[in-house]
Chains A and B, each alone.
Chain A
Amino acid sequence: NAGVIQTPRHKVTGKGQEATLWCEPISGHSAVFWYRQTIVQGLEFLTYFRNQAPIDDSGMPKERFSAQMPNQSHSTLKIQSTQPQDSAVYLCASSFDSQNTLYFGAGTRLSVL
């Protein structure tokens, strides 16, 4: 079991460019979560899929951010027209059961110059 895999580990973009972050959940896990981590805000919930369906995207900025889960083996978080304030570590997590134990990937550090 390789755990939750996130790629790339580091991404540097210029202001206004697009960034796509990838997540491969643990096989057999039905739920996938995206969080954003910064020093100031801590861990912010972004969005959540269960059985590939979007369940709760209440944490997603309404503009420029989108997430998809086209199949059970991967999810993507896309940020259009990146801004310096988007710089953060983006964490993906998956879970198997309804008792909410999350298994996190190592994260993607996004730096917007």
Chain B
Amino acid sequence: TQTVSQSDAHVTVFEGDSVELRCNYSYGGSIYLSWYIQHHGHGLQFLLKYYSGNPVVQGVNGFEAEFSKSDSSFHLRKASVHWSDSAVYFCAVSARTGNTGKLIFGLGTTLQVQP
């Protein structure tokens, strides 16, 4: 069974601060890991994904995430946040093998960036 845990339901920071949104997963096979962002009233938008190679992956708008097999983690980071980064962030895992393309999502972390 695949599970995704996002330990922080809400994170509040000030504009210009750095931020790390935590994601831990549980799965016994080869996986893809990804992050998506959802602004209020909109669908989810892809940020970045990891499937092999360099454990640090770069995404859009200055976001990056680091995969750690030993910690079963895929934390999202940004060095300097902007007010427009306020949104809900979802971590997701999917199996690399088999005929399924479905993603299993965490419950999300709401990031609030204060001016």
Contacts and interface: CB of A to CB of B under 8 A. Distances in A.
Interface of A: 4, 6, 31, 33, 42-43, 45, 48, 50, 55-56, 59, 91, 93, 95, 98-107
How many chain B residues sit at the interface, stated as a range, is 20 to 34
A105 B42 CA distance: 8
Which of A4, A6, A42, A45 has most chain B Cβ within 10 Å? A42
Main secondary structure of the interface of A (DSSP, over half): strand
Contact of A42 (B41, B43, B49, B106): B106
A93 B105 CA distance: 14
A104 B49 contact: no
B34 interface: yes
A100 B42 contact: no
B100 A55 contact: yes
Contacts of A106: 41-43
Contact of A33 (B41, B42, B101, B106): B101
